[in-house]
C-alpha cells in the first residue's frame, strides 16, 4: 500500500494537489490518500496579562468566529470524504489546531507517508529571504519525497521528466528514487547537468558522469543533456521550459539553521520559482 499525504488549505492550488494525488491511483495498484488540514490558532496582538507571551483568542467574538471556522472545516472535510467514498483508493481526512508548518511536519513524521503532494504559490522578494514558503520548508525537512503542484496537472499527461543533478555522487538511494518515479510515469527522462560560468566544465566530463550513473544503475529510456546558464536554478527552469517538461525531479540536502542561510538550496529555489511540478527528495 502506497500512502500519500496531502496538506490541504482549501485553496485552488491545494485542490490541484489533491487532484494530482487522486490521479496517482491509476498508476499505483493500491494507494491510500490522507488530506490534512491545519487551523491556525488566533492570538492577541498584545502581550499576555502575565507577561509570558501572547494570549490566544482574547475576546468572545474571536472565540465564536474560531469555533464556527472549526465546524465549517469539519463539514468541508466530511464532504471530501463523501466525494471519494466509492473511489478505488483509500481516502481519509485529518484536522488539527496549531502552527501550519509545525502541524504538517509533525503529522508527516508521525504518519511516515511514502509521498507528500502539496500545492504551492511559491515565495518571492523579502518573504522568500526571511522565511520562505511553508512548502519550501516542508521540502527541506520532510523525510519522504515531496511533489509541489502549482496548477492543474494530469498524471496521465506526464510525458517528459527532467532529473537535474551534477551526478558526482552515484548514490544508490537517489537512483532507486528516480527508478520509482520512472515506474509511476510512462515518460521520457532527461538527465541534465547545468553548466554555469562559476562552475564550468567540459561537455565531455559532464557526459561521462551521466553515462557512469546510467550504466551503474542500469537506467533505460534516458536522454543525457548539458545545459549552459548563468545559475543552476535558472538553468534547470529554462531547460524544463525549452523542452516543455511536465515534471522536474531534484534532490535537496535538507540543511537547516545557519548552514541553510549560508548555502541555500537550489531545489528549494526551483520549487519557489518553477511553474512546473517539482518532485524533491532529501538525501543524507
Q: The domain spanning residue 226 has which CATH number?
A: 3.40.50.620
Give pLDDT, residue 259. 42
Strand-strand pairing, 43-47 and 54-56: antiparallel
pLDDT for residue 254 = 53
Q: Give yes or no: residues 85 and 42 share one domain.
A: yes
Report pLDDT for 126: 38
Residue span of the structural domain in which 117 resides? 2-147
Asked whether residue 165 falls in the same domain as residue 68, the answer is no
Same domain, 130 and 11: yes
Please report the pLDDT score of residue 136 as a whole number. 78
pLDDT digits (tens, 9 = 90+) for 192-243: 999 999 888 999 999 999 999 999 999 998 999 999 999 999 999 999 999 9
Residue 152's pLDDT is 92
Say yes or no: 158 and 65 in one domain: no
For residue 5, give the nearest of 16, 15, 13, 18 by alpha carbon.
18
Task: Give tens-digit pLDDT for 109-135.
Answer: 999 999 999 998 754 443 333 334 678
Asked if residue 138 and residue 25 are part of one domain, the reply reads yes
Looking at the fold, whether 66 and 114 belong to one and the same domain comes out as: yes
What is the chain's mean pLDDT, rounded?
Answer: 84
Intervals of the chain under pLDDT 50: 45-52, 54, 123-132, 256-264
Residue where one domain finishes, among candidates 147, 163, 191: 147
Specify whether 166 is located in the same domain as 89: no
Same domain, 143 and 6: yes
Q: What total of structural domains would you count in the chain?
A: 2
Q: What is the pLDDT of residue 60?
A: 61
Q: Which helix (H) or strand (E) holds 213?
A: helix 203-217
Residue 195's DSSP bridge partners are 228
List the 247-252 sheet strands across, edge first.
Answer: 90-97, 31-39, 2-7, 115-119, 146-149, 278-282, 247-252, 160-164, 188-195, 222-228
Kindly report the pTM of this predicted structure.
0.85
Co-location of 129 and 182 in the same domain: no
**Domain boundary pick from 97, 128, 147:** 147
Rounded Cα–Cα distance for residues 39 and 131 (Å): 20
Instruction: Give the pLDDT of residue 185.
Output: 87
What pLDDT is stored for residue 48 in this prediction? 41
Instruction: Among 130, 147, 164, identify where a domain stops.
Output: 147
Residue 255 is predicted with a pLDDT of: 52
Residues 11 and 136 in one domain: yes
Task: Examine the domain organization and report whether 190 and 106 are in the same domain.
Answer: no
What was the pLDDT predicted at 50?
43
Q: Note whether 131 and 213 are same-domain residues.
A: no
Amino acid at each position: 500500500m502506497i500512502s500519500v499525504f496531502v496538506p490541504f488549505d482549501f485553496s485552488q492550488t491545494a485542490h490541484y494537489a489533491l487532484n494530482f494525488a487522486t490521479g496517482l491511483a491509476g498508476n499505483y495498484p493500491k494507494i491510500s490518500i490522507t488530506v490534512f488540514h491545519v487551523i491556525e490558532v488566533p492570538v492577541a496582538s498584545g502581550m499576555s496579562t502575565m507577561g509570558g507571551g501572547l494570549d490566544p483568542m482574547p475576546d468572545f467574538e474571536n472565540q465564536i468566529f474560531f469555533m464556527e471556522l472549526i465546524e465549517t472545516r469539519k463539514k468541508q472535510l466530511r464532504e471530501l470524504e463523501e466525494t471519494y467514498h466509492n473511489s478505488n483508493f483509500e481516502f481519509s481526512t485529518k484536522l488539527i489546531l496549531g502552527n501550519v508548518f509545525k502541524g504538517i511536519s509533525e503529522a508527516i513524521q508521525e504518519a511516515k507517508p511514502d509521498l507528500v503532494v502539496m500545492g504551492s504559490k511559491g515565495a518571492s522578494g523579502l518573504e522568500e529571504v526571511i522565511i520562505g514558503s511553508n512548502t519550501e520548508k516542508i521540502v527541506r525537512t520532510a523525510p519522504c519525497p515531496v511533489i509541489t503542484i502549482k496548477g492543474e496537472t494530469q498524471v496521465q499527461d506526464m510525458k517528459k521528466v527532467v532529473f537535474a543533478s551534477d551526478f558526482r555522487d552515484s548514490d544508490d538511494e537517489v537512483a532507486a528514487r528516480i527508478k520509482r518515479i520512472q515506474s509511476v510515469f510512462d515518460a521520457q527522462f532527461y538527465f541534465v547537468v547545468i553548466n554555469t560560468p562559476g562552475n564550468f566544465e567540459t561537455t565531455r566530463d559532464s557526459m561521462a558522469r551521466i553515462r557512469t550513473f546510467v550504466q551503474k544503475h542500469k537506467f533505460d529510456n534516458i536522454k543525457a543533456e548539458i545545459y549552459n546558464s548563468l545559475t543552476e536554478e535558472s538553468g534547470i527552469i529554462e531547460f524544463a521550459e525549452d523542452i516543455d517538461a511536465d515534471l522536474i525531479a531534484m534532490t535537496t540536502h535538507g540543511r537547516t539553521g545557519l548552514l541553510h542561510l549560508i548555502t541555500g538550496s537550489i531545489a528549494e529555489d526551483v520549487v519557489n520559482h518553477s511553474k512546473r511540478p517539482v518532485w524533491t527528495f532529501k538525501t543524507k
